[in-house]
Amino acid sequence: MAFEGLSGKLNQVFKKLKSHGKLTESDVKAAMREVRMALLEADVSYKVVKDFVQKVSERAVGEEVLNSLTPAQQVIKIVNEELCSLMGNENARINFPSKPPCVIMMCGLQGSGKTTHAAKLAKMLKKEGHYPLLVACDIYRPAAINQLQVVGERAGVKVFEMGQIDPRIIVREAMRFAKDHGHDVVILDTAGRLHIDLELMDELKDLKKLAHPNEIMLVVDAMTGQDAVNVAKAFDDALGIDSVLMSKLDSDTRGGAALSVLAVTGKPIKYVGMGEKLDDFEQFHPQRMASRILGMGDVLTLIEKAESTVSEKDAAKIAKKLEQNKFDMNDLLDQLRQIQKMGSIRSIINMLPGVGDKLKDVDVDEKQFVRIEAMITSMTRAEREKPSIINPSRKRRIAAGSGTKVEDVNRLLKQFDQMQKMMKQLGKKATGKGGKMSRRAMRQLSAMSPEQLQGMAGGGIPGLPPGLMPPKK
């Protein structure tokens, strides 16, 4: 997961600070040395690390920290604020012109994920009420046009293509098409290139002159670490980029690129790719990302994901069932299918404050979704509505029908029962207006032990299926 290595090391530093109680200047300096090493190991730019540690140190040895009743918490607060500052503080957004269309030109190196993320961006903008058009300008890579058509269809977005002709002609005609058909956003998927490829860079400059893009967005692979920052600087020098879209951030355990881009290039990260699916895509929030790094979770993003996945009608329906303690296997199956749309279970766990760190070494079995669904669909209608009627012979039939073992059925039933009890305890506190998850309930969840979370199997977010974690030994 993103920042996993850095998050773990920083939390170790803060744990040591908390054990000291009252802090001295030497305690702070020792902690800052460890922070410096943690950031360098995370592949953060040396200059960025130097400036960051200096700013934190200056503030951390101040009177308000050393004389504070909770000095360690004060230091963590300073680190959090400086991390936010490092990544931009404000949530940078696309500046839409008063007169459409808004033209977004995607560029980047070959293999950075530009085509896929162009479709991800288009899908997000469509959800926000825009009418985007994807334009196939990559005429060099084999099957690039076909790939854009496939992901465009999945995103439900129109793709404009004219085959492998001069990209300048394609852009000119695409702009005319967009105006004629009322598209308010045009996303140009340009060919991936090396920043040292002068011919192709000249082509990009020509496209820039033709399209007059409102946003030149560079797609960089977070896995490349400092190279991603160097690429961003090179493209900015040659073309003048406006923002960065960081792909594969979910796979980068270090996260150095995300922490260095703004400081080195002056260009903000506006979006991040967090997985392979088209919905695994987020706006970049510096404050939320800082919270993830410091192990504080990211409840707001989790709530937004849940709200975008589950309709208000469905949420209200589930809320009513929870209040009446009538949540059955049919509801679990529905919720299981909904939660799969929110991303991986590991990513969801990591957004719960204090939980991700507790469960970092737990082996989460994503394939358990399939097994649970198979077991539930092998039950009769009566069994789903009232699991208590499932006796040994019924268990054997369900196991045979789902390709699982009786032990698996027993575990599902046991954990479903635990989940129901936990939901009953939370009661009306778990849901707010419209059936949405309340922040109070989220705080309750974050205070639970791994064993409690295992027992309820994520029931605090209705539908997180039981059995995703190995049974307690």
Q: What is the dihedral of CA 272, 275, 277, 282, to 10 degrees?
A: -30
Which CA distances in Å does 21 have to 29, 66, 272, 295, 380? Answer: 15, 10, 38, 21, 59
Fold held by 4-87:
Four Helix Bundle (Hemerythrin (Met), subunit A) (1.20.120)
Residue 284, amino acid: F
> What parts of the chain have a pLDDT lower than 70?
1-2, 64, 66, 69, 194-196, 252-253, 295-325, 340-366, 423-473
- Of 215, 140, 206, 146, the residue nearest 171 (C-alpha): 206
In a 13 Å sphere around the CA of 94, the CA atoms on its Cβ side amount to 26
pLDDT at 362: 53
Tokens of 100: 């459409």
pLDDT at 19: 80
Fold held by 299-456:
434 Repressor (Amino-terminal Domain) (1.10.260)
User: Which residues, 6 or more positions from 457, have their beta carbon under 8 angstroms from its beta carbon?
Assistant: 415, 418, 419, 464, 465, 466, 467, 468, 469
**Three-state DSSP state, 191:** coil
Beta bridge partners of 53: none
Domain range list for the chain = 4-87, 102-293, 299-456
Fold held by 102-293:
Rossmann fold (3.40.50)
pLDDT at 90: 76
Residue 161, amino acid: E
CB count in 10 Å sphere of residue 298:
23
pLDDT at 173: 96
Beginning with the edge strand found earlier in the chain, give each strand of the sheet holding 281-283 in spatial order. Answer: 158-160, 132-136, 185-189, 102-108, 215-221, 243-247, 269-273, 281-283
Distance CA 5, CA 441 (A): 29
pLDDT at 459: 38
* Burial class (CB within 10 angstroms; exposed 0-12, middle 13-18, buried 19+) of 129: exposed
131 in Cβ contact with 183 (< 8 Å): yes
Distance CA 337, CA 285 (A): 27
Distance CA 263, CA 401 (A): 57
226 in Cβ contact with 45 (< 8 Å): yes
Express each pLDDT in 315-342 by its tens digit.
Answer: 666 666 666 667 788 888 887 777 766 6
Express each pLDDT in 260-271 by its tens digit.
Answer: 888 888 899 999
* Burial class (CB within 10 angstroms; exposed 0-12, middle 13-18, buried 19+) of 75: buried
